[in-house]
Amino acid sequence: MPAPATATPPRSAARPDPAGSARPAGSAAPVGEPLRLPPFPGRSFRARRTLRAYAELVRAPAAITVPGDVLAGALATGRGAGGRTLGLAASSVCLYWAGMALNDWADRDLDAVERPERPLASGRIRPEAALATAAGLTVAGLGIAALAGGRRTALRRTLPLAAAVWAYDLGAKSTPLGPAVMATARALDVLHGAGPAAVRPALLPAAAVATHTLGLTRLSRHEVDGAPPREAALALAAGVAAAATTGPRTGAAQSAALGLYAASYGPALARVLRTPDAPRVRRAVGAGIHALLPLQAALAARAGAPRAAAALATALPLVRRLSRKVSST
């Protein structure tokens, strides 16, 4: 029969501690001190940790710089910023994220030595999961493009862009042609915004974005060991050329956007010119990624869309703030 509630337990039995947990005799905590249990992560904690790992894998905040490419191409061809353009922008974001996941999958052995904090190198995401993420996002990007722009757009604009992304990550990245392939991918992203229309009017904004990307990608190859001063000089020259490629200034909005472009990218490159070590190179690469926004704003202003230009420019503080939580590089 059960013992009375007032019965005293034998010495060998478990007795409650002040925190209300059972503790074997002889191991009780001092009177008044709560029992300290090891942390046990709940389901919500694990979900947040997994979500953060995938956000790092795809460099989630950097995708804010992608829709401006598509918008610049659409505005140049007179398509505007309607629903179809937004759909193509969403497609490009999927392809950008796919490229980032594929990049880490392809670099997983190198990152284990040089970037052990990355999701695959740290073991937070399995390689097969990263590859599946890249494939799934690519399929999603193609599907969204087909819905937004039609089959012709998906085949003539989106498919070449996806091919350039995969070609860069799986082969070209480690070759001398790597920066040129990346620049081509970014130019194709601008032409993506043209949809089924003729791309000729969008060639100038595509050239501006490609020129910026070429210098930035060359510089990014030195994030681990530091850069020769000439690489920072080349990136600076590419930035100047990209600004010049936006064409003659047609108003205050374009001038302001180009000024913001210079202010957001130039100082970081100047610091690399003075001291080309790895931390400054990484900061300059991050600044160069973010500087795409004011460059795109200048292109939008040139196309006669000051409101779109303002929206792109005001996104710069947001991407900077988010990149403090999840790196863009």
What's the pTM value of the predicted model, to 2 decimals? 0.84
Q: Mean pLDDT over residues 308-318, rounded?
A: 96
pLDDT above 70 for 16: no
pLDDT above 90 for 62: yes
pLDDT above 80 for 153: yes
134: phi then psi, degrees, rounded to nearest 5: -60, -45
pLDDT band at 36 (very low <50, low <70, confident <90, very high): low
pLDDT above 60 for 108: yes
Question: Tell me: the pLDDT tens digits for 115-132?
Answer: 999 999 999 999 999 999
pLDDT band at 41 (very low <50, low <70, confident <90, very high): low
pLDDT score for 8: 40
Question: Tell me: the pLDDT tens digits for 157-202?
Answer: 999 999 999 999 999 999 999 999 999 999 999 999 999 999 999 9
Q: Mean pLDDT over residues 35-47, rounded?
A: 64
pLDDT score for 43: 74
